[in-house]
A and B are shown apart, each in its own frame.
Chain A
Amino acid sequence: MTTPTAKQFCTFQLAHLTFGIEVDRVQEVIRTLPMTVVPLANDVVRGLINLRGQIVTALDLRRRLSLEPRADDEQPMNIVVRTSTGELSLLVDAIGDVVDVDEATFEGPPETLDGVARELIVGAYKLEGKLLLVLDTDRAVQLPAMA
């Protein structure tokens, strides 16, 4: 991924951060679905969901970005994205609006980010009152080596 050219972003919350994925990468957004855990799989893989007869792997973005785990009573949302290897579901805390962004407000990754988040974030749009962090979807769905 280079600097995104897409104008529209699907936004979502992860912990205290606001992220965005290019709208054309997103197939759909769905509420929490029953999830089947895959024992011994990579930590980031939360399980499998039944998406209208298709079995789709769900990745927890909090875990991917090494954020603190979600509270037990919080139900994650699924953002189903298209990737080169098929559909994948990304688990996020909450879905925000689809926003139009002004290219002029784009900047590289903020210095305050560190660790794995820094690798997966392409940059940020300075929206009013908050930063919209642009997720490198292709990288985010590549699993890190298991500890």
Chain B
Amino acid sequence: MSEVDEIVGEFLVESYENLDQFDDDLLVLERDPGDLEVIGSIFRTIHTVKGTSGFFGFDHLESLAHVAENLLGRVRDGELAVNESITSALLATGDTIRRMLAVIERTGEEGDEDVSELVALLAALVEPAETPSVDDPVSMNEPDLSDGEPDPGAGEPTPVEDGPRIGELLVARGTADVEDVELAAREQEFGDERRLGEILVGQMEDEVEEALGQQQRESQRGLSDTKIRVDVGLLDELMNLVGELVLARNQIVQLVGDEQDSQFAGASQRLNLITTELQEGVMKTRMQPIGNVWNKLPRVVRDLSLNCGKQVDLHMVGQETELDKTIIEAIKDPLTHLVRNAVDHGIEDPETRAAAGKAEAGKLVLRAFHEGGQVNIEIADDGGGIDAAAIRAKAVDKGVITPEQAAKLGEREALHLIFAPGFSTAEQVTNVSGRGVGMDVVRTNIERIGGTVDVVTELGVGTTFKVKIPLTLAIVPALVIATAGNRYAIPQLSLIELVRLEGESAREGIELVHGAPVHRLRGRLLPIVDLAEELGSGSTIDRDVINIVVLHADGQHFGLIVDEIHDTQEIVVKPLGSHLKDASLFAGATIMGDGNVALILDVLGTAQRARVVAEGRERAVVEDESAEALADSERRTLLLVGLGDDRRAAIALSEVERLEEFSQDAVEWAGGREVVQYRDDILSLLRLATVLGIGGGFAEPDEPLNVVVHGSHGRSVGLVVGQILDIVEQEVTLSGEDARPGLLGSAVVQGRVTDVLDVDALVAANDPAGTSGSYAGAF
């Protein structure tokens, strides 16, 4: 703003806000043309613009607003029915006014935007109303918002049979006007059996309701008088200061721990509380409902769907979900992008939808909610879904990956290709599916603020993009732990639980599966990462007490062994200097209560470094196995088991419920089958080596049985194996048509071709619950 004085500035700010509301209102009106309140609000916006611009001498603006007001006046008075062309013209008016305002903001003058065409269009739309197209004007319930509150006793029915008629009486007393009475009389004619007075009371009630609505609106306006506008820069500064204050508070609180002075302790206690409240307060000032970003989207969806000749119903759930201003700014573009893509590529045109047996209008649902200290935003469409095969082909075509790499990608990884740089173009992948205008930018923007974006899709059913973002960036709750004499902070967002193993369980709780440590947490295998080892200070695993911090990263759980677990506290995140940029294990640093610096652990980075989670696409692509994998293949996490005589097999980890050991004494016989008592139930055992016809696989009598518990259809079966060897992530070549029953496929694991078992099929073929003779004969 150059020379524009304060009043014009206020006019601009107010008009921008009103125009946002104006757009929303128009879209509401399009859906529900009879909503008088909304018409009133639209009318007021344009009226204000007209009045104020006339006052400042912005003639073009005034003339445009004037003709729009005329049109709206007709609509308000019920002389014109809202239709698509009216809405479009009014939306265009809003856009033009915005542009003109922007020029005023920049230059202080009106500029030379040519409005004549739009004015002509609006004027033309006003015309048809000259010939009354709607019924008798009298039949319209006059919504005069400027009307005062009607006298509540006015409609009292007066039972008079002779003398003047009730209608005349009321008109004479001024409590009802001729039109009201005429309307009521007409309703009687149309079969309303109530008496005239009662009908009038009914009308009055409507008016009272309307007046109440007006009263409410006005009291809301009163509320807005208690608000002021604050410069965001000032809020940022306050936030920084509060961050410093939190650090100082932490230090003081720590000092008090060593002091005996009770007065000092009391004062610091107060300081502590006040700081916390102040911090919350300042954070709140920066919080905004996500609706502020979303309110532009109905317009985007409307325009785009009209352009593409599609019908889209936009539903928004959780507009009130709040998040930090800076984050709101940061997600604005990515969200708009995702929504545009959903309309453009996700939702099919009405004919296609009808042919697929769907409703012609596509459904686009935006959902926001808080979960685990994060804000979750979902953009779900019920369109055609994304075809992973098409994405693969496209990626190869674009040279993003080689055909060999493409063949090796799993479904999920293939889908994630849409986020790969270089993949995106405005072109569609196919006519049913296709995403990817700048999806890499979307992901980069979301990840920059510590968020993640994921995509779930089903062909023909729809696609959901799931975005997770932190509430705020500056101050985060964190768990403080210590390893090898240093303290580290772990953001609580990644934290799932803490596990402490002592004595016996500490010595036996960590098992090695082919060198990779795991812990059985409630029967599930939890990969273990020794923080000390990752930090290069040597393993500390064999001790009497083991503290495991269970974390999640990239959808994967893992346990981090640390020396000590301290407390949780609010930490102020400070970035690391340029010399530590490549320290992938750390996300930043913070100052602890004692004034020392502690590093903030980057949970995802740690997991990647420890190879608990794959490093995205790169890792899958780098993996260079044999080139024969042109058949359909997928990466799976496999449990490698030994079957005696050096033979091994693999079971997809997703099929494994638990790993157990049973003493051979525990094995009982029931119905000719081996069973064990397990968790208050009877678990049937299936000796894998026998089932596969390998023979052997029987443990020495005093050795425990290694059992892989597999659950299916609500029933568990224990597969007895020789040894549990390893867990690997591996490409699985799925069996073709020549598949042997019970085999899902094969994989090259540690240089050996290994069968991947189809446990479900195996169990079914050798159903211990059935009366299968082959099974009984095996023993």
Residue of A39, A47, A57 with most partner-chain B CB within 10 A: A39
Residues on the A chain within 8 Å of B578, using CB: 85-86
Residues on the A chain within 8 Å of B372, using CB: none
Interface size on A, as a range, is 20 to 34
A49 to B484 alpha-carbon distance, docked (Å): 19
Known: A85-B577, A86-B577, A143-B579. A39 touches B537 (CB 8 A): yes
Let me know if B323 is at the binding interface, CB within 8 A: no
Residues on the B chain within 8 Å of A29, using CB: none
Query: Are A38 and B599 touching (Cβ within 8 A)?
Result: yes
**A21-70, CB < 8 A from B:** 34, 36-42, 45, 47-50, 53, 55-57, 59
A85 to B579 alpha-carbon distance, docked (Å): 9
Residues on the B chain within 8 Å of A45, using CB: 579-580
A84 to chain B, nearest CB (A): 9
Known: A41-B583, A48-B589, A55-B591. A34 touches B577 (CB 8 A): no
Query: Are B586 and A38 touching (Cβ within 8 A)?
Result: yes
Query: Are B585 and A57 touching (Cβ within 8 A)?
Result: no
Closest partner residue, chain B, to A40 (CB atom): B536
Let me know if A88 is at the binding interface, CB within 8 A: yes
Let me know if B247 is at the binding interface, CB within 8 A: yes
**A70-113, CB < 8 A from B:** 85-86, 88
A14 to B586 alpha-carbon distance, docked (Å): 31
Known: A50-B591, A50-B596, A53-B247. A39 touches B536 (CB 8 A): yes
Query: Are A55 and B585 touching (Cβ within 8 A)?
Result: no
Query: Are A38 and B583 touching (Cβ within 8 A)?
Result: yes
Chain A 123-143: CB-based contact to B (< 8 A → 1; otherwise 0): 000000000000000000101
Query: Are B596 and A56 touching (Cβ within 8 A)?
Result: no
Let me know if B500 is at the binding interface, CB within 8 A: no
B250 to chain A, nearest CB (A): 12
B260 to chain A, nearest CB (A): 25
Residues on the B chain within 8 Å of A57, using CB: 576-577, 579-580
Query: Are B577 and A88 touching (Cβ within 8 A)?
Result: yes
Query: Are B535 and A41 touching (Cβ within 8 A)?
Result: no
B608 to chain A, nearest CB (A): 14
Query: Are A36 and B536 touching (Cβ within 8 A)?
Result: no
Closest partner residue, chain A, to B589 (CB atom): A55
A27 to B415 alpha-carbon distance, docked (Å): 52
Let me know if B113 is at the binding interface, CB within 8 A: no
A143 to B577 alpha-carbon distance, docked (Å): 12
A44 to B594 alpha-carbon distance, docked (Å): 26
> Which one of A36, A50, A53, A56 lies within 8 Å of B577 (CB-CB)?
A56
Query: Are B585 and A48 touching (Cβ within 8 A)?
Result: no
Let me know if B432 is at the binding interface, CB within 8 A: no
Residues on the A chain within 8 Å of B580, using CB: 38, 41, 45, 57
A6 to B247 alpha-carbon distance, docked (Å): 39
Query: Are B579 and A59 touching (Cβ within 8 A)?
Result: yes
Residues on the B chain within 8 Å of A42, using CB: 579
Given contacts A48-B599, A55-B576, 9 further A-B contacts (CB under 8 A): A38-B586, A38-B599, A39-B536, A45-B580, A50-B597, A57-B576, A57-B580, A88-B579, A141-B579
B contact residues vs A (CB 8 Å cutoff): 244, 247, 484, 486-487, 535-537, 574, 576-580, 583, 585-586, 589-591, 595-599
| 27 A-B pairs (CB sep. < 8 Å) | A34-B595, A34-B597, A36-B486, A36-B487, A36-B598, A36-B599, A38-B583, A39-B484, A39-B536, A39-B537, A39-B585, A40-B535, A40-B536, A41-B579, A45-B580, A48-B597, A48-B599, A50-B591, A50-B595, A50-B596, A53-B247, A55-B576, A55-B591, A55-B597, A57-B579, A59-B579, A86-B578
User: Which A-B residue pairs are the 9 nearest by beta carbons?
Assistant: A39-B535, A36-B597, A57-B577, A48-B597, A85-B578, A55-B574, A55-B589, A57-B579, A34-B596
A contact residues vs B (CB 8 Å cutoff): 34, 36-42, 45, 47-50, 53, 55-57, 59, 85-86, 88, 141, 143
